[in-house]
Structure 1
């Protein structure tokens, strides 16, 4: 199943830069690209599913964040293009035959909006 990326948001990034458009080549640039940490949420859906689910992750250039966070996209240096390319790469790596198989892969990187609501057998049944 081909995965699609919708919009992304971060309450940690102020103003209009807190909305991320993955169709755009430009976006949030940090004042200090070596000292960046923000919570990020993104819509991801399967082609033909008719909608998106929300996934979240911490984006950081600080290895110390691993002490407190489970789901982190670590970047040595932050720029919008590096960040954008990494998100696109991760989503492409998570494509699979069924939505459930995509979810299993996506949940390696992201918290899913429905995490903890269902057991794994129920998730498989609902999303295969």
Structure 2
């Protein structure tokens, strides 16, 4: 049995990370923290209910955003993506290096973008 996701984050791919930081902090009052690991930097913040919001600056569109990203606490991203593909799930972005770990993107049956992320410290396979 494959491990289930641990928690979820909403990820936004934005055109101007500095403008995004100003809007969410100054206008909406959400505290965001600058993170290293992507250029120029990326942002993260949590709402009171524990939902994490993550912002990356990217040129062009990388799928539809915001995207719901599932965190894999125990790792195993390669196994999970292979199992999804075997079940006919459309894999948009195969497992690739991401800030702090590994990620992959796929579509649900209605075409909504979903993703997986795991820490680089966890094993990519569990089998």
TMscore range, shorter length: under 0.3
More strand by share: 2
Q: TM-score, normalised by structure 1?
A: 0.25
Q: TM-score, normalised by structure 2?
A: 0.26
